Chains A and B, each alone.
Chain A
Amino acid sequence: MEFKLNQEELHILQTIKRLNDKGEKSDYYQVVDEAGANTGLTVPVISRLEDDGYITTNGIIYRYCHITDKGRRTLTENGM
């Protein structure tokens, strides 16, 4: 079953898009900082975004987040 993203998840997704588009580093801690979120509480949000295909992550030491086409489409649909 495909679920819609809530405001918090959209906000994190938008932050990742912004960092990606500006070509800035988008590791987990940078994303959380930029979004003004809490590092511990955001762990399930990033996991969910990756599990459902809105972002992909890579990196050996840091976990870098990259928005996917599906993620971009979702932001557009939500007017973000």
Chain B
Amino acid sequence: MALTMAQILQICILVVYLVVLLIMGKMSTGQVKSNTDYLLSGRQMSWIIVAGGLVGTNFSGAVITSVSNFAYTYGLGGMIYEGSTVIGFLLCAFLYAKRVRLSGAFTIAELFEIRYGLNVRIIAGFFIMLSGISAASSQFKAIGLIFNSMFGVPENVGIIIAWVVTIAYMTMGGFAASNYTIIPQMACCFIAFPAVAVWAIGKFGGFETLTAMPNLPDTYFTLFGPTLKLVLTWILQWMWVNEWGSQWYFQRTSAARNVKHAKKAFVATFAALTIMCLIPGTLIGLFARIAYPDLVNAEQSLSLMISISPVFLGGLAMTGVFAAAMSTVDGCGMGAVTVIVRDFYQRALGHMDDDPKKINRASRIVTFVVLVVILLMATSLQSVIAGLNFLFVFSSGNFGALIAALFWKKASKEGALISILTAGIVAVGWTLAGQTIVFDGIWWSFTLSVTLMVVISLIVHKTGPWWGKSEKPVRKQVKDDILAFLSNRTATMSDFIDRFHVNSSDLRLAVSELTMEGKIVEIDYMTYTLKEHSSPDQVFTKDSTVARDIHMILVAAISVVGLVTIWIISH
């Protein structure tokens, strides 16, 4: 295989980038002294780093390729695809960031234990782990494709090179490494794609040439190019399920310094993705229509434009696509690792009180094993899309239980367990049966998870618990510790999780018993103070009003209308 001078230059840029990743991974090793450090980077992340992580995880090689592809095919209407994502992140700043950060849970499954108990945590954790592995595998597959199309090497060679680098920096620094390596990754993406877009505008005669092109569809310069079915599915997948159902966004939100940093991070993510992905990806796709008017596979529009751009720009953009994929791999992989360590190893297998060094060692071993599984799956995947389909199928079943855990006091463990199991099984069955040709399995899992959660919780509110009526009394020491901790401060569930090495069920029961005994009161979402330190008007009742019941019923009704609409359109 003879490489051209341009290819050698591009490889040099890539090698420099990989060396920087390894150095940053090594630098973050020294910070890891506790499990909070390894899995949440000590909750010290500034909004810029959290935003870098959110952008890096969302902005994958597959995403920028799709943005360009849809712009090429549908014109301006293709923007709805990535537009859904950026609006979704903006909504998260106002609806999601505060409550997730205050909960302080390491994983979505841990939040479920705080609200619903251990059974729900284990079941949800299982689906979340699978979604993380699917997402990371599809990104390794995308890296293999990049190597193959740029240098002509077999896909698996590219996958293994990326895998070796990833395993090196992730086992060294864990979540801290994953976060800090975001800096070179994002710097690369931030420059590369806007630069290629600007070059394309100049090279192909600007917007006048584009609008004067013959044979473009009538809707090309409107938002009505894509079909209604496609638009609805994009909105569901990318505006809601992707952001809310993903462990990797939850974990990064939980790692923020405080609520203010978490909120700012989501607003910054909205801005960054608009500047580095939505606008340049769309422009590259539109101008590829001039450069290559008769492309059979529009997915090639991005890589073809990169291949004809100036050498340095091409090298930077190729490294950018590679960086985008790597940052998604480590974010999703770390999500799966956190679930296994925190939910299964520590919680289910009873290692909550282990020495931090022992847990860190276990975390590193789990990271290695998870990455081996991801490697095996990546090398056997048929396509990138196949992996992404499973990501959504596995993560969307938790959606109903999650929004209820964050916003609704009437949410019940019965509703959570039944909705997660039913939604997960039906959606996986639908996908494995090949029915995604009719419509995406995510519609089933979303509708079932929300509807069952709301309906069953309302019934349980009338009938009382269906199981687990008499829970084991919580240890007195836990309650005493909480009371002592609250003696001179208010504190959130996040503080309790960091402070007391007890399981989430004990924390939930202790807080619940102390509230019922009238010793503490909740003054904001999962924020507590001693009764004598509060006034009656401070009590947090927002999530237990009739208005909130109506909000939840409306969400369930919207999900049913969505499913019926998709069903009618598809048949």
Inter-chain CB contacts under 8 Å: number: 62
Which residues of B lie under 8 Å from residue A48 when comparing CB positions? Answer: 489, 491, 495
User: Does the CB pair A59–B46 fall under 8 Å?
Assistant: yes
User: Does the CB pair B48–A44 fall under 8 Å?
Assistant: no
Distance A71 CA – B46 CA, assembled complex (angstroms):
22
Q: Which of B34, B46, B48, B183 is in CB contact (< 8 Å) with A38?
A: B34
Q: Which of B31, B33, B36 is in CB contact (< 8 Å) with A43?
A: B36
Do A47 and B495 form a contact, CB below 8 Å, given A60-B46, A60-B48? yes
| 30 residue pairs A–B, Cβ–Cβ below 8 Å | A1-B533, A3-B489, A5-B488, A6-B488, A28-B42, A29-B33, A29-B42, A38-B33, A38-B356, A39-B34, A39-B36, A39-B37, A40-B356, A40-B498, A41-B498, A43-B36, A43-B42, A43-B43, A44-B494, A47-B43, A47-B258, A51-B258, A57-B257, A59-B46, A60-B46, A60-B48, A60-B49, A61-B49, A61-B180, A63-B46
B366 CB to closest chain A CB, in angstroms?
Answer: 18
Do A63 and B44 form a contact, CB below 8 Å, given A3-B489, A39-B34, A40-B34? yes
User: Does the CB pair A3–B488 fall under 8 Å?
Assistant: yes
Which residues of A lie under 8 Å from residue B489 when comparing CB positions? Answer: 3, 48
User: Does the CB pair B257–A4 fall under 8 Å?
Assistant: no
Does B357 interact with chain A (Cβ within 8 Å)? no
Which residues of A lie under 8 Å from residue B491 when comparing CB positions? Answer: 44, 48
Which residues of B lie under 8 Å from residue A47 when comparing CB positions? Answer: 43, 257-258, 495
Which residues of A lie under 8 Å from residue B461 when comparing CB positions? Answer: none
Main SS class of interface, B: helix
Contact string, A3-18, partner B, CB cutoff 8 A, digits 1/0?
Answer: 1111000000000000
**How many A residues face the partner with a CB closer than 8 A?**
23
Distance A11 CA – B499 CA, assembled complex (angstroms):
17
Distance A41 CA – B498 CA, assembled complex (angstroms):
6
User: Does the CB pair A62–B44 fall under 8 Å?
Assistant: yes
User: Does the CB pair B488–A44 fall under 8 Å?
Assistant: no
Q: Which of A1, A43, A50 is in CB contact (< 8 Å) with B498?
A: A43
The residue in A4, A50, A61 that gathers the most chain B C-beta atoms within 10 A of its C-beta is A61
Which residues of A lie under 8 Å from residue B36 when comparing CB positions? Answer: 39-40, 43
Which residues of B lie under 8 Å from residue A28 when comparing CB positions? Answer: 42, 44
Given A5-B488, A6-B487, A44-B491, list of 16 further CB < 8 A pairs? A29-B31, A29-B33, A29-B42, A39-B37, A40-B34, A41-B499, A43-B36, A44-B495, A47-B257, A48-B489, A60-B46, A60-B48, A61-B180, A63-B44, A63-B46, A63-B257
The residue in B48, B49, B356, B488 that gathers the most chain A C-beta atoms within 10 A of its C-beta is B488
The residue in B44, B257, B499 that gathers the most chain A C-beta atoms within 10 A of its C-beta is B44
Distance A24 CA – B43 CA, assembled complex (angstroms):
22
Which residues of B lie under 8 Å from residue A39 when comparing CB positions? Answer: 33-34, 36-37, 42
Distance A3 CA – B486 CA, assembled complex (angstroms):
10
Does B504 interact with chain A (Cβ within 8 Å)? no
Closest 6 CB pairs of A and B: A40-B36, A40-B34, A44-B495, A3-B488, A43-B498, A63-B44
Distance A27 CA – B286 CA, assembled complex (angstroms):
47
A54 CB to closest chain B CB, in angstroms?
Answer: 12
Q: Which of B35, B183, B258, B488 is in CB contact (< 8 Å) with A50?
A: B258
